Structure formats: structure tokens, C-alpha cells
Amino acid sequence: MKKKFIIAAAIAFILFAGMLLYKPTKPVSDIHHGNPTLFVHGYKGTSNSFGHMLHRFEDEYGWGKKGLVYYVTSNGRVRDYHLSKGREEPMFVQVIFQDNRASFEDTTRWLASVTTHLKENYHANEINLVGHSMGGIVSLKFLQDYEGEEYPDVDRFIAIGSPFDGIYSQKYFQIHHDEAATDLKPGSLALELIQKNGFPPGTEVLNVASTGDSVARPESVQSIRTVIPGNKYNETMIVDEELGHSALHENEQVDWMIHSFLWKERED
């Protein structure tokens, strides 16, 4: 009897130890039931550009976890950091470009590499995109220029303070002279190509702007209307002369707009 008890106890201990040591091998997208949402910073953006917003999403609102950070080097090498911070949906993915002053074309190509990696390694067949400023322009260009089986479909796209017709301030370009600045000038070839290209019919769009934004003026932000089909286009103009360009991704009202557009409709 004593021998049977010892054997049973040993088996129980082995099973318990195995449970502690076991780590799921499922890719992130299999664990999270919602579409991964990629957050793309703008011109001269850093990890802080969406870092505080994602902190609020996680810790203040409890909307989900930042599961991945993609860091793209200046030569286009993609590095992914799987944070393993939980199993809650939706999954947030932060994209950071080392060269944050590169042209639209280069940055869009790097974003495409990120989405390809996400699909191949985490089986993300469908995603959402959220872009601030030039990040919104690059996200739009990705939607226009990159399609096919190697890329995930984009269900919903949010642009926040994105000057789709360029930055109207001449003083801005007295300070900035790099490739991205050239593309951000009104009438640039890069902006003209975006206005001429089509748009995938399956993607819903929310365009957010502020009357207090001196970088992305409302008229520039609203120029995207000619690109997006009317039945897929949603626009919110925040009437607040104190809400400037960089403050948009630190604004609680914008937080809830993102939540409502991406997730609330599905929850209801």
C-alpha cells in the first residue's frame, strides 16, 4: 500500500512539474482572437510616439496587451520582439523605424516587410492599421501599393493627423530638408501618386483631425476624401484650438475614437 502511494505521488509530481515547464507553442495570432493592430509612428517618431497611448490602452483601460514590437533598422532589417505579456485580445503591435526621416517609398517598403513577417511567423491573415501623421500616409501607401497572398488583409485603417495634401507651413521646410520632408511638401510627386492610386474596397477608414493642428491642417487631412470610397470613409474633426499635432496621440478622446472604431462595433 505504501509503495502504491509513493508511485502515485511521484506520478503526480511529474505531471505537476510538466505543467510548470510547459510553454505553449501557438503563434500569437492563434492565442489572440482579434486582429493584430499595428501602430505606425510619423516623421521623426520614436517609441514614445505611440508608447504612452499603448500604456493607457493596457493599464488604464484594460483593452489588451502590447504583444509585439517591430524594430526596423535603417537598412530595412526587421527585428521582432515578442513581449509575451498576456493572452488578451486585441493584440497591439508597435512598429518603430530607426530611420524616421526616410522617404515614403522606403518607409512603406519597410512596413510591408513587417506585415509579411507578421503573417509568416504569427499567422496574422488580417490586421488593423493605426498611423499618426506621416505614419498614416505610409499606411495608406501600403494599402495602395502592396497586395497579394504574402501580405495580410487590412480590415480597418485609422489615420490621425495625417497631412495627405502636404504640410502647408513654409517655415517647416526651412528646418527640415531630408527625404521625408521633400515628400511632405504640397505638390510633391510622392503625394501626387497617392492621390492618383486606388484603394482596396474591403478596408474601412477613420480619418481623425484637429482644428488646432498647425502641421496637418484640416484641409490637408481631408484631401483623402478623393481617394477613399465614400461608403468606406469615416471622418472626425475635433474642434479644439489647443489640441496640437503631437498631442493627438496623447488625447483621451482620440483613444476612445480608436476603441469605438476598431472594437466596440464587434463587441455590440
Would you say residue 20 lies in a domain?
no
Domain span at residue 215 reads 31-263
Q: What is the pLDDT of residue 263?
A: 86
Q: What is the pLDDT of residue 17?
A: 40
Would you say residue 175 lies in a domain?
yes
Would you say residue 11 lies in a domain?
no
* The 3-state secondary structure of 137-176, one letter per residue: HHHHHHHHHCCCCCCCEEEEEEEECCCCCCCCCCCHHHHC
- Taking only the tens place, the pLDDT of each residue in 165-205 is 999 999 999 999 999 999 999 999 999 999 999 999 999 99
Averaged pLDDT score across all residues of the chain: 87
- Taking only the tens place, the pLDDT of each residue in 153-171 is 999 999 999 999 999 999 9
Q: Is 224 helix (H, G, I), strand (E, B) or coil?
A: helix
- Taking only the tens place, the pLDDT of each residue in 17-47 is 433 333 333 334 333 357 999 999 999 999 9
Would you say residue 5 lies in a domain?
no
Would you say residue 21 lies in a domain?
no
Q: Provide the sign of the torsion angle of the four alpha carbons 103, 109, 112, 116, taken in this order.
A: negative
Q: How far is CA 183 from the centre of its chain?
A: 21
Q: What is the pLDDT of residue 89?
A: 54
Structural domain tally of the chain?
1
Q: 130: burial class by Cβ within 10 Å (0-12, 13-18, 19+)?
A: buried
Q: What is the CATH number of the domain that holds 254?
A: 3.40.50.1820
Q: How far apart are CA 15 and CA 27, in angstroms?
A: 24
- Taking only the tens place, the pLDDT of each residue in 42-64 is 999 999 999 999 999 999 999 98
- Taking only the tens place, the pLDDT of each residue in 197-237 is 999 999 999 999 999 999 999 999 999 999 999 999 999 99
Would you say residue 14 lies in a domain?
no
pLDDT of 2 above 60: no
Would you say residue 168 lies in a domain?
yes
Q: How far apart are CA 21 and CA 30, in angstroms?
A: 21
